[in-house]
Amino acid sequence: MKRFAAGGVLLATGALVLSACTPTTAPGAEIVEGTSITAAWNQPFYSANGNTSFGNATANNNINYMTYSGFNFYDNTPELQQDTSFGSYELVSEDPLQVQYTINEGVQWSDEVPVDAADMLLNWAAISGAFNTEDFAPEEYQDPETGEFTTEFPEGTVFFDSGATPTSGLGLVQETPEINEDGRGILMTYSDFYVDWELAFGAGLPAHVIAMNALGIEDPTEAKQAVIDAIQNEDMGVIAQLASYWNTGFNFTEMPSDTSVLTANGPYIISDFVADQYITLQANENYVGDHQPQVETITVRFITDAMAAVTALQNGDVDIIQPQATPDVRAALEGTEGITVSYGEGATYEHIDLQFDQSKNPGVFETLEARQSFLLTIPRQEIIDRLIIPLNPEATVRNSAVFVPGAEGYDESVENSGILDMYSEVDIEQATALREQAGLEEGTEVCLLFASTNPRRVSEFELIRESAAEAGWTVTDCSSPEWGGLLGAPGAYDASLFGWQSTSLGVASVGPNFETGGINNLSYYSNEEMDAVVQELNTTVDTERQMELLMEIDRILVEDAFGITIFQFPEVTAFSDRITGIDSSPLAPTIFWNVWDWTPTETNASEG
């Protein structure tokens, strides 16, 4: 997601069909002194490192997007745009694949320390997993109540919790990148071609902050050099310390006592944070890029209930909301003066995943028959009829984990995957027979994880529980307000109900959801055929073959009864007349993608 609130974790394919466009603000925009904007989101922030399996969640990455800069970003067309005010990247060679990254001179962190090769080198080490100790199983060191690492790894063990795999992304860059003479660039060489190389890398977290905290170094320049020396010399003892801090040091649920972890290089920096209430961002006075903010402070209030978010907007307590759409939300927003409302279909889809290992009730979904039995009870059409049709009369069941309904390849994939043959409708008789074939007694428990604060998910749970009971399954409530951090946590649940949200159009971005050890493979799922398909997809530039491979992924998931898709999210965005420049993107971070374009109106400025 860990992983994503009310619409979820990372998933993207090249088959998305999307529209709408807003130009970005020209460089030179100035902050309107005294202005503030308040947005609402449905889950609290809890990690400034969105690249760990724990921190990879929309609620975190919305904030991180505003506080960290990178080489590129998606606009709301959506098209990939390079941020040339931050740095540049160049494809030096295709065989072998070599990419040169360079940070612009003058780009700095909020503490005025330069952003440079040390930051990129540490980010490469983390995202590539090049130094990770082989065959290390981190699950036993995680807290099943939170999903966090709470027990120190064995001495000398290196583990960056980035979901790195050796066949995709930076996992294909196992050689230490070469640093430019000026110290602001690195050259990376891939062992194989990677089709989405342009999306694979960013500057990362502040290396000097990590080294100062992990190694006890006071001087930031010395700290950066310690990072470079450790990586270039393959000093596993030092790298292990850096990895441990990288994994956990940026997790916090209120204003941290050590504010160095707030160090930013984006338009904003975190200035206040009250647990479970709000987080406030202040314009970063040391930001030198083109995305200069116009609003001085942005506060994100955590409002888990959609109707409460609507009320807050109507009362003027917040200025922009993107709550989970429900009929009550739509009815409440209609006719409200001073508020602009837009509706659409988002890039998030609801689904259920089953745990292949590390489940709360060990072995409950060990067999194919057990998984098929449970999935046959999921009342997908009833969920849509009751909860989605009132918002979108054209809504249909989504039958692909890869393709968006209506996109090129969707119909063919659905026809060939076998999902309609197996799961076109609820079949209690077959579900009962399959449960018995799996040797599971009537009343076998399935602990379902979902967001307890989400009314729609609560309704879905009740419908699923009632239907599954008819086939002899007892579905228990494992919901939690902290559901995101629990995704993938060993022993926490047996099945999960949440949403995947697209973050890019990269064709290879689907792999981490289903390949062995992928960062978004939260189910401990492993299939050699799937891994081979993903590996080929990662290196294939032929679009026809890409389409064939994506369809293969759908087919394998159905054959393995990995889980089941339910519906595409209806989406609603509403904002007050105190702000202009809002035009949500279908990709994460949706409303926040152009935060630098948010412009306070005269009403806002006069009140400021």
Mean pLDDT, rounded, of the chain: 92
Residue with tokens 């189910």: 523
Q: Does the model's pTM come out above 0.85?
A: yes
pLDDT in tens, 382-413: 999 999 998 888 899 999 999 989 889 999 99
Domains located in the chain, CATH noted:
87-202+206-249 (3.90.76.10), 348-569 (3.10.105.10)
- Res 17: pLDDT: 22
Structure confidence at residue 14 (pLDDT)? 30
Residue 50's pLDDT is 95
Alpha carbon distance 214, 223 (integer Å):
10
The neighbouring-strand residues paired with 570 are: 345
The residue whose two tokens read 């930031």 is: 220
Name residue 73's beta-bridge partners: 81
Query: Residue 13: pLDDT above 80?
Result: no
- Separation in Å, CA 93 to CA 71, 90, 188: 19, 9, 10
339-384, pLDDT tens digit by residue?
999 988 888 899 999 999 999 999 999 999 999 999 999 999 999 9
The dihedral of CA 474, 478, 479, 483: what is its sign? negative
State yes or no: pLDDT of 9 exceeds 50.
Answer: no
Which of 95-104, 148-157, 218-227, 256-265 is the least confident region?
Answer: 148-157
Q: Are 490 and 140 in contact (CB under 8 A)?
A: yes
